[in-house]
Structure formats: C-alpha cells, structure tokens
Structure 1
Amino acid sequence: MREAENIELYYSESATVKVKLTAKKMLEFANGNQEFPEGLYMEFFNEAGKMTSTLRANEAIYTKEQDVWRGRGDVEIKSIENNQQLNTEELFWKPDQERMYTDKFVTIKLPDQVLYGRGLTAKQDFSSYEITEPEGIFYLEDE
C-alpha cells in the first residue's frame, strides 16, 4: 500500500489532457484500487483543451478491476458549458465509456428551473443526461 498527500494527477489520451484530479490524500492498494478518504476534485476537458465540467465528492474510491470510480457524500457536478449543476449522495463514473450514473436521488439546477428524481445516466462532461424517475414540475419547449 502507498499513501500520498496533496496530489494532482492528469489523465490524457493522445497527448490531450482529459481529466485533472486533485485530492488531499490518496491511498493506493496492491491490487491497484485507490481511495480518496478526504474527497477529490476533478476537471474534465474537451478535445480542444477547454474545461467542460467539474466534479467534487466528499470521498471516492477507484476500483481498478472494473475501471469504475465511486464518489460518495456530497457529490456535485457542474457543467460549465450548459450552466447546470447536479447534486447527489453517490455517483459512479466509467472512464472507458465516458459515462456517469447513480440510482440515488438527484437534483439538477438549470438556469431557469430545478429538476428532481431518482437515478441518472449522463455523459462524463454532463452535456446530456437522463433522469430515470423524474419528479416535480417540468417546462417543455415546443419544437
């Protein structure tokens, strides 16, 4: 097992930074799993290198075998491009699929309304999402 403090990690594809991760503390285990007991903050970037969204969680775990991240506690995603914010108590991220999901209660704040529901599937940059069981009043645009 290894332990690191005040870390900053970058994930890239084809020499392009896709994700920047910062955390106060990281524990890495022999099986490749990682734990962030004091939380983490992530920034997601598009192909042009522009930050598209951020993710913050009170604690997180990365399971190497399944290549899945799990954020817990107060999990928050902000979409910079769409001016939207997601809050939930647990969120999973599959980097290989560029997808996030949860079966927990979610709140999505839009510029002009707030959406509620249980369960969500979203692109990792939060540019599109689907609430599994939406609740409340919704405003729909006519096309």
Structure 2
Amino acid sequence: MAQLSLSSCGEDDLKKAATLSRKISLDTTRTTGVEIIYSDSAKVKAKGFAPVLDKITPSSGAILQEMPKGVKIEFLNDSLKVKGSITSDYAIIKDTEKLTIFKRNVIVVNENLTFNTEELIWDQNKQMFFSPKGVVTQPDGSFANAENFSAPQDFSYYKTGSGYGETYVKENFGE
C-alpha cells in the first residue's frame, strides 16, 4: 500500500521564500603569473608564486584571494636563500580572517621535515600552521601519521594530538 501526500503554498509563503533566495553579487579580477612577497619588519620572509590569482569581492562580505591552479611558497632566510617551501594544488586567502587555506596535495618541505596533507591552514594572527591530519617524514626516513598537526610558521617544531608511525633509534654500544 502506498501513501501519497500533497501540499501547497499560499501566496504569502511564496513571498517569504523569495526573500530567502537573495542574489549575491561578486566582482572577480583575474591575474596570471603572480608573485607574492611576504615581509615582516621590512625583511622579506617568503615569496609565493601562483599561475592564477582570482581576487573575489562580494557585494557584502570579506575579500577572498583564490589560487585555483595552485601555489608555491618559498620561505627565505636572512640571506634570502630558500630554507623551505609549501606547495598545493589550490589555495585561498581570507583577508578579513587573516587565514590562508592550502588544499589538495599539500607538501611542506624544510631541513627538519616533510609534511604531506590534503589541508593546511596558516593563521596569520597566531603565526601558526594547522592541519587535521597528515604524514610527517623526518630526514632519517622515520615517519608519523599525525592528527591535529600544528607548527609555528617557521616549522621549527611541530605538535600532534595523536598519531602513529615508525622511528629509528641509534644503538650506542659501549659509548
């Protein structure tokens, strides 16, 4: 036995529904072959490269900068030599919140670690990186599957909430 239920909207209901579906107006500006410089206290700290940068300005709300074809950021030391990098297939900068979100095939490389994840968030206010999960590989080949990853913006150390992995321990016989 099947049951059929029918309902209808009155004219007042349609007016209410129309106000719920507001149109959002966006202004988009596309730039190709972009180089972004990040400096702190008049010192260049990083350079970013994106094949495409879309600046999205909603009629109401915060400005977004989207890199739909990916981004590569190189971290520089005081001598302006590359000391690490982040690459991803997609990134978005939320100017108002001061957040940069890297997504898809995110790879962080420096002399202390390689970190692979699908999402990495840089919080400019806290000067910290956060990721829900990823794999940390050390130069000696040891690795950890990390959850709730966090690191300062120079990746000098990292913390995880939980994880598992493989590490190598040197044996000191007679030393």
Structure 1 moving runs of 4+ over 4 Å: 138-141
Distance 1:60 1:53 in 2: 18
Matched, 1:3 2:19: no
Distance 1:132 1:107 in 2: 13
Q: Could you list the runs of 5+ residues in structure 1 that have no partner in the other structure?
A: none
Residues 59-138 of structure 1: matches in 2 within 5 Å?
Answer: 59-79=90-110, 81-82=111-112, 84-104=113-133, 106-112=134-140, 113-138=142-167
How far apart are residue 14 of structure 1 and its match?
A: 2.4
What is the TM-score with the length of structure 2 in the denominator? Answer: 0.72
Aligned to 2:25: none
Aligned 8 A contact 1:52 1:125 in 2: no
What secondary structure does 2:35 align onto?
strand
User: What is the one-letter code of the residue matched to 2:121?
Assistant: F
User: Of Structure 1 and Structure 2, which has the larger fraction of its residues in helix?
Assistant: 2
Q: Percent identity?
A: 28
Distance 2:83 2:154 in 1: 6
Distance 1:50 1:95 in 2: 22
Distance 1:51 1:95 in 2: 20
User: Of Structure 1 and Structure 2, which has the larger fraction of its residues in strand?
Assistant: 1
What secondary structure does 2:106 align onto?
strand
Matched, 1:38 2:38: no
How far apart are residue 138 of structure 1 and its match?
A: 4.2
Aligned 8 A contact 1:45 1:53 in 2: yes
User: What is the one-letter code of the residue matched to 1:126?
Assistant: F
Aligned residues: CA RMSD: 1.9
Larger Cα-atom Rg: 2
Distance 2:135 2:106 in 1: 11
Distance 1:96 1:13 in 2: 13
How far apart are residue 121 of structure 1 and its match?
A: 0.4
Matched, 1:29 2:56: yes
Distance 1:109 1:137 in 2: 10
Larger CA deviation: 111-120 vs 70-79: 111-120
The one of the two structures with greater contact order (alpha-carbon pairs below 8 A, sep at least 6) is 1
Distance 2:87 2:129 in 1: 13
Larger CA deviation: 23-32 vs 41-50: 41-50
What is the TM-score with the length of structure 1 in the denominator? Answer: 0.87
